[in-house]
Each structure stands twice: as C-alpha cells, then as structure tokens.
Structure 1
Amino acid sequence: MESQKDRVKLDVGGKKFETTATTLASGGRTSFFGAMFNDDWNLHSDGSITELFIDRNPEYFGVLLDLLRTGELYIPRKIDKKHLYREALYYGIEDHLRLAKWGPFDGNRLRLAESIKGPTKAKAEKIRASPNSWCCVVRDNIVSVYNWMLEEQPTITTCDYRRVNDVCWVNSDNITVSSSDKYLASEGIGLFSASTGELKYNFQVKDEDQLKDYTAGALGVGSDYKLFSSCTEITNKKNGIAVWDQITGKQTDFLQYLPYSKATKLQWLQGTNCLMAATCHSESKCSINLFDFRQNTVALSWSDATDQRMYKDAIAIEERNSICIVDSHENLGFMDLRSTTSSIEWRSTTRDNIYNPYPKLAFHEGQLLASLEHTILVYCGPDWVPTSQLQPSHGGLIWDLSIGGDRLFALYWNIDMFDVWETPRP
C-alpha cells in the first residue's frame, strides 16, 4: 500500500490525475518530473499530498502516465500517434515510449515498420542512422534529416550548394557534412545542428601548418571528440586524413596516405584506439590501412596486388578481430585485424552469374548484415552462417544500409525511398 507521502495529485489541462512519486520517478532524472525530486529521490514537499498543474493535453498525458505505471504502451484509436510522440518528448520520456514500442535490435526478428518516400524523382545517395533512432539522407547538395518519429526536419544545405560527398553523425544532436564544388573542387566540411539545420562552424584543412585546398571525402568520428576526413589536395593529388577536435574545431593531425588510395570509408575502432581507412571502388585498387593512434604508426597495411576483384564495401568487426569485405559478386571475405601481413579468407561460395554493384555491410552486436541483390541477409555465429533474410518492400536493389538506435535503415537504388526496420517487443 502506498503511503500518503508518496501520493501526487496532478491537474493536467483541467483534468485531475492521482499517482505516486514512485511512478513519476520511473521517468528518470532528466524527465519533466525529475525536477520534482531532490538528490535522494524524495519529493520537494512539506509532507502533504503534492499537487502540480501542467498546462498540456490530458488525453495524451493519460496514455503516457499508464506507460510509466506499467511499462506497456496502449494507444487508443482516437489518439494521434505523432502528437503522442511529441508529448513524450515534452515530458522527457521518449526513451520509455521507444522501448515500449520496439525491443533491442535483433536482425533475426526485424520487421518492416515503414517506408519513407523522398521529395525527388532522382535517387538518394547515402543514409546514416543516429544513436537515437534518427536518420539523414543525402540528396545531391542537401541532407534531409528525419527524427525518431520519421518527421522531416529543416534541411541541411551546403555552402554554395556544393555536392555532398559524405555525412556523419557526431552525436545525437549534430551532423558533419563534407562537400565539394564540381567545377572548382573546393572543399567544405561543416558541423550542422540535426534539429535546425544551422551551420555551427567549418573545419579547415592544414598540412605542415599551411591552409591547403583539399577536396573532402569520407568522414568518421572517434573517441576524445576526434573527427576524421579523407582529403585530396587539388594541385598535386596528395591524399591524407585530417583530424580535428570536434569541440574546438581545430585540426590536430594530418595523416599521409598512399597516392592511389584515397579512403572511401573511415571507421574508428574504440577498443584498439585505431582508425580503419578503406578504399573500395572500381576506379582503383582496393586498400585497407589501420592507423594506431597510441603508437602513431600504421598497424596494418594491405592492398590487392592482383586487382582481379571489385571490392565494394568493408567494415571492421573489432569484437571478432576481423575486417569483413564484400565484392561485386556478393562474396564475403575476412581479414585478421591483428596481423600486419593480412590476407583475405573468402568464406562464401562464388556466384559468378551474379553482379551487384552496390552491396553494403552493417554490423551490430554480433550480427553482420549485408545487402545482396534484392534482399538483406543476416549472418551470425563464429562461421558467419546466414540466419535470416529480409525482403525489402520495394523489391529493388539496396543502395545503402545503416543501423542506429535499434533501427535498420535501408536506402533503395534509383528511387528516392528508404525502409525502416524495427524489432518487435518480445
């Protein structure tokens, strides 16, 4: 039985509610109700029943209060879901609503939740998921941002309408965009607000303490607020990777790179404090380099000397000490991260009759996902056995994949549309 001291009376938009401090505290310290408690989670009161007026819609509040009471979400038909999500955001309990709506990411249990069509007839180019279930889509010189309710936010537009080369979520609130002018090839790397599209500041490229005219390419983020971008100097085609401090915007390092190996993908490895830089496209040889920031050395350097395969994507799987590579015939290969003279072990059967120019890889907590032809396969276990197969809604080729915030986002080729996959609650 709840004590008199634990009871709380609420007047929401003129409708009376009565609950307990325990129920409100389940919203968490950062929620709307967190300010009602002191550091010991006791109500700020004189011992009498606490009463609070909240000037919000009572119908939506009732649904959210039941969510805090039971951990389960029931939405009556008359309730607008997106309005309910906005109310959850106001009360600071959107995480509770997400957890009640879907469970932790599991590739073998994913279900198609929604398909989002873009505003253009041309194809979109890249999709990136954020840590809090948002995503952004690159369309030529703009970046469209969608919140976790899949509502489009203010568009991010590059300076002088430069073409976007890559995008990267720095955190849940900010996006970094690299772009270049197709005529002048001038570089641009900017940090933007995900919710407003506002440009916060630009990053400049320096080599030997001199400002350089570089094109900016692949982006990545690391620990200690590091930001990385592959760069190519316009005059002498020298390649490198610039490193900045995200907080100050100042460049802290510039890593030299082989002339023929402009990095197309950057990935930070948290446990080993290394940066993987991979080149995977048909115009040049494939190469993979691992930069060790603890020793300031190259821990791994590999390139395809035969140039017989067309490598399309690579992803480091640190918990398995390996790098996975996929080629244009949808073969998966694995390389040992710990070896300085690594070779690729191909574990899938060659399908010479299949040619897919756009296979992509994604990884999340022991599960490897690959877009192969018109499906997405999920691989698990020590031998990467295929355990499930996802059928996209449109039935076309997948252009890009991204996992974030317990969601899978799949972008189509040659059509401005992407699918959103979620894991149902058990």
Structure 2
Amino acid sequence: MDNGNSNPAPGPCTDDRIKLNVGGKFFETTLSTIQAGGPDSLLAALSNRSTDDPNPVFIDRDPEIFSVILSLLRSNGLPSTARRFSKQELADEALYYGIESQLKSAMSPPPFSGIDASIVTTVQPAYDGCPSAIATGDDGSVWIAHGGQLSSYDWNLSHSGTIRTHLEDITSICRVYPDIAAVGSESSAGLYFYDFSGVRNLGSIHWTDPNDPRIFKARVTAIADSPSSVFASFDCPHRENCILLIDKSTLKIVSELSRQPGSSAKNLAVGKLRWLPETSMVVGSSVTCGAFGYSGYIRIWDPRANEMVWEANEPGSGRSSRFGDSFADVDADVEESTLFKVCSKSGDLLQWQTCVN
C-alpha cells in the first residue's frame, strides 16, 4: 500500500562504472564516457543497464579498435595507436557504435590558414583520365570527374563507386542532390544528370531555339544550384551563350536568365557560377587572357525577376591605368555573400561585399 513516502529509484550516476567484454577483452569505464557518444549511439543505450548487474556487457567486436573508440570518447581525440588501423576500419567501427560524427570531427584536418595550408592526403582515381572537375558534399564526401567518368569518395576519402558516362571528358560537375550529379563538357553538347545510387542517366537538357539557327550544339561551361533550381551556362560554336534556369523536380527548362552574343570579352560565356543563399542571387564571371592582358566581367542576376542587378567589367591591364591590375580569377563565398578577385599582376586578393537585395 502506498503510504505517500515512496520515492522513485534513483537512476544510475554518470560517475558509476560499467564493465564491457569486447571480443573477449575486458574494459571498465564510466557511464559518462559511453554517454559521450550521444543519445542515439549504441554505447549510450548500454548506460540504461543496471549497474548492479555484475556480468559485463558482451560486444562481439574487435577489442583493439574498441580501445581507440574508448579513447575518442574520453578525450575527443584519437590516440597514437589509431595509426595501426586504416581509416576504413575506424569508420566501420564508428558506424557500428553510432559515433561516426565524433570520428569525423577527430579526423578532420585543422582549419585552413592561408600559407600554412598543407596536403592532408591524396586521392588518385583508379581509372583512366586526369581529374578535370570536383564537387563536394556537406557530409565531407567528394565527387571527382576524370575523363568521362565520375568517382565518388566518402567523408574519409574511401572510394565508394564510379559511373562511366557517355561523355569523353567532363569539365563541369554540380551535386544537385546527395546522389545526383549534373555534368557537362566543353567538347560535347548538353547538360546531363546521373544518379549514383541507381547508376543511371536520368536525362539531359539542351539549349535550342527554333527561331535562331545559331543556337545549336550548345556546350556547358558552368553549373550551380539552389534548393529548387539548377543554373547552367551554355555556349554555342558561334559564341552565343546564355544561362538556363532549370527546375530541379522536373528537370525542365524554366527560363533563360541571360542571353548574349559572345563577340567580346564582356559577352563571353560564364565560366563560373555561384548561387548566394543569403540574397537568392546568382553570381557569374568570365575571365580571358589575350595580348592586352586579362579581361572579363562579374555579374549578379536575380532569377526571381530574371534580370541582372549588378556588374563589374575590367577591359585588360594594357588598355587603361585604372584597370592596370585586372582580375585573373573571381570566386564567391556563398555563406558570407562575398566576392573575391585575384589580381593578375600583383597576385593580391580583393574583396567585395554584396549588398543587393
């Protein structure tokens, strides 16, 4: 009978110890250590076990690698003994125990620091063709185009698959979905979509105009994407070019974002595209080099209004002292909506903050 004085049994204290039998080797640690893997990890689930049970929990896994896993949970870093195992071995065990995110953090290289950057590792595709384009995922995975093939590498740069496309060479690649790539070639017409999970071609996009015979065999020079759209720059043999806005869900052309004749440096096909999520704008740039130095443009388009909202042109270092150090390359920081220009003569890096809304 309840007398009103009963209290729930206290739960296990995080300082309580727990004994584990991993592959025949015994380990003893605290509940707080195994709970460091997060609430969804296998080890955290063991923390609910009664500490009064004298029998150690048995886990049928490699005890030597488990000692590395345990050190990772204790210190958020890998011990020197981790070098005895391959990245794939460590990744497989981390996946089993449900602490893959902790291992990723511990194995990640230090933040990029200018001239202090150094090579962490080298990826060499096992198939013919030199690497020609690269795309990265938010999960740390990498897709590399080499020749007419696409190779996928997971977050620890282990090869996970290769697709052979019908293209002889791939010069542009964009990861439009976790398993879907949009690819183009400057030697073959069209934009193509490939599914890594199903290893198949999902379809293609071609820029055509029945009313303009100059628009044919348009090749892709750059690709970018937003959550709902794909942006692809096309260039025809007669130098007419444009940016097509494509619906991601249907893979159908929605509109032409920019169309121009490529008769001068100010009208060349876009060679680099970036979508800025903060402003929902598209940044495009084109740079060329000739007898008078570097020249080209940077432009920002609003795809909602289908119009250009900002541009900067540099006619070449030999034509005007004002532009005596024109850009040799341009890129954008999509998170900060910032544009960067690399000067062709001094090598200086200049920065613009986009303010268009």
TM-score normalised by structure 1 residue count: 0.62
Compared CA separation, residues 302 and 81, structure 1 to 2 (3 A): same
Q: Secondary structure at the match of 1:60?
A: helix
Does residue 198 of structure 1 match 2:221? Answer: no
Structure 2 match to 1:240: 242
What residue identity is the alignment partner of 1:272? T
- Distance of 1:190 and 1:9 partners within structure 2: 52
Q: Secondary structure at the match of 1:23?
A: helix
Alignment of 1:230-269 (within 5 A): 230-232=233-235, 238-260=240-262, 261-269=268-276
If each structure's strand is expressed as a fraction of its own residues, which one has the higher value? 1
What residue identity is the alignment partner of 1:186? A
Q: 1:74: Cα distance to partner?
A: 0.7
Structure 2 match to 1:403: none
Q: 1:264: Cα distance to partner?
A: 0.8
- Distance of 2:81 and 2:42 partners within structure 1: 23
What residue identity is the alignment partner of 1:280? V
What residue identity is the alignment partner of 1:110? A
Structure 2 match to 1:316: 332
Number of aligned residues: 326
Structure 2 match to 1:65: 70
Q: Secondary structure at the match of 1:148?
A: coil
- Work out whether residues 132 and 171 of structure 2, in 8 Å CA contact, stay in contact via their aligned partners in 1: no
What residue identity is the alignment partner of 1:153? S
What residue identity is the alignment partner of 1:255? L
Provide the alpha-carbon RMSD of the alignment: 4.2
Bigger relative CO (Cα 8 Å, ≥ 6 apart): 1
Q: Secondary structure at the match of 1:99?
A: helix
Q: 1:277: Cα distance to partner?
A: 1.0
Compared CA separation, residues 91 and 178, structure 1 to 2 (3 A): same
Structure 1 unmatched ranges of 5 or more: 341-426
- Work out whether residues 291 and 299 of structure 1, in 8 Å CA contact, stay in contact via their aligned partners in 2: yes
- Work out whether residues 207 and 218 of structure 2, in 8 Å CA contact, stay in contact via their aligned partners in 1: no
Q: 2:219 aligns with which of 215, 218, 231?
A: 215
Q: 1:306: Cα distance to partner?
A: 5.2
What residue identity is the alignment partner of 1:316? A
Q: 1:291: Cα distance to partner?
A: 1.0
Q: 1:307: Cα distance to partner?
A: 7.5
- Work out whether residues 189 and 203 of structure 1, in 8 Å CA contact, stay in contact via their aligned partners in 2: yes
What residue identity is the alignment partner of 2:90? L
Compared CA separation, residues 165 and 9, structure 1 to 2 (3 A): same
- Work out whether residues 144 and 156 of structure 1, in 8 Å CA contact, stay in contact via their aligned partners in 2: yes
- Distance of 1:337 and 1:141 partners within structure 2: 37
- Distance of 1:68 and 1:311 partners within structure 2: 48
Cα offsets for 1:244-278 (capped at 9, x unmatched):
34455444443123222211101111222111011
Does residue 298 of structure 1 match 2:330? Answer: no
TM-score normalised by structure 2 residue count: 0.72
Q: 2:296 aligns with which of 266, 281, 286?
A: 286
- Work out whether residues 75 and 81 of structure 1, in 8 Å CA contact, stay in contact via their aligned partners in 2: no
Structure 2 unmatched ranges of 5 or more: 1-10, 263-267, 319-324
Cα offsets for 1:64-102 (capped at 9, x unmatched):
122112222114278323212332233332331232234
